[in-house]
């Protein structure tokens, strides 16, 4: 049996599940970059290093937001 409820009600309960960083995402992305870097191709290695720097920055930002922003509070796009 399918249930439905208003978006506003659903979003309040669902938002915390989707806004906390899932460590697996960063691990998978890091593993992909490790494979790319190990490919032996100079361009692939440079790309992996550049994307790795960006990945680490995004990871730091995601975890900082979890610590700094109270649960239930929303930030506008580009607020940090």
Rounded to two decimals, what is the model's pTM? 0.63
pLDDT at position 68 is 83
78 or 45: whose pLDDT is higher? 45
Task: Tell me if 37 sits within 8 A of 49, measured CB to CB.
Answer: yes
Residue 60 has pLDDT above 80, yes or no: yes
Residue 74, pLDDT > 90, answer no
Report d(CA 8, CA 14) in Å as an integer: 10
Please report, in angstroms and rounded to a whole number, the separation of the first and last CA atoms in the chain. Answer: 42
**77 has pLDDT over 60:** no
- Give the per-residue pLDDT at 78: 53
- Model confidence at 19: pLDDT above 60: no
């Amino acid at each position: 049996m399918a249930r439905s409820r208003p978006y506003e009600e659903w979003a309040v309960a669902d938002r915390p599940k989707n806004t906390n960083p899932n460590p697996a995402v960063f691990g998978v992305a890091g593993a992909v970059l490790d494979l790319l870097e190990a490919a032996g191709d100079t361009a692939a290695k440079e790309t992996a290093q550049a994307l790795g720097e960006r990945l680490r920055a995004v990871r730091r930002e995601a975890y900082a937001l979890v610590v700094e922003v109270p649960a239930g509070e929303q930030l506008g796009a580009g607020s940090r």
